[in-house]
């Protein structure tokens, strides 16, 4: 009986540790705690009514504000006939909450792009 109780307690503690580890990994933020920009890799779409980013590793979509003045310019220089065509980008950006009104209101967060690192029509495998 004593051994069975110890075994149950050990199982409970191990289970608790595993669950807390899984929760911590799943909720790991790509943001630095000090608000510094971080590098995001994913798909960027630009058009008359959309400026969005979707990360390669998740389905979460962000509204994009281009403070670098390079992202939108290089996108339009690719010469797409149709707008809103996704391209692969690597950007340095800060994530902030979206406003309640305005074009970003349909998104939980907005990425403020501070630096364009890479923009290409070639989308890497596994990032779509």
> Taking Cα atoms as reference points, which of 67, 42, 54 lies closest to residue 109?
54
Pick from 8-12, 72-76, 99-103: least confident: 8-12
Exposure on the CB side of residue 30, measured as CA atoms within 13 A: 17
Tell me the DSSP string of 58-117.
---EEEEEETTSSHHHHHHHT--SSS---EEEEEEEEEEEPPSSSGGGGSSEEEEEEEEE
What is the pLDDT, as a whole number, of residue 61? Answer: 93
Instruction: Please give the residue that has the higher pLDDT: either 113 or 23.
Output: 113
Please say whether the beta carbons of 72 and 66 come within 8 A.
Answer: yes
pLDDT at 62 exceeding the cut of 60: yes
Q: How far apart are CA 43 and CA 124, in angstroms?
A: 10
> Taking Cα atoms as reference points, which of 93, 97, 98 lies closest to residue 116?
93
What would the pLDDT profile of 4-34 be if each residue is shown by its tens digit? 555 444 433 333 323 333 333 333 334 555 6
What is the pLDDT, as a whole number, of residue 60? Answer: 85
Instruction: Please give the residue that has the higher pLDDT: either 82 or 13.
Output: 82
What is the pLDDT, as a whole number, of residue 3? Answer: 58
């Amino acid at each position: 009986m004593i051994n069975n109780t110890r075994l149950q307690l050990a199982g409970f503690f191990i289970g608790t540790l595993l669950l807390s580890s899984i929760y911590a990994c799943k909720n790991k933020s790509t943001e630095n705690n000090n608000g510094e920009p971080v590098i995001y890799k994913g798909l960027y779409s630009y058009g008359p009514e959309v400026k969005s980013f979707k990360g390669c590793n998740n389905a979460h979509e962000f509204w994009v504000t281009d403070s670098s003045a390079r992202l939108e310019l290089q996108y339009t220089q690719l010469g797409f006939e149709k707008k809103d065509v996704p391209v692969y980008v690597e950007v340095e950006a800060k994530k902030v909450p979206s406003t309640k009104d305005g074009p970003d209101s349909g998104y939980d967060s907005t990425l403020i792009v501070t630096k364009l690192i890479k923009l290409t029509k070639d989308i890497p495998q596994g990032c779509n």
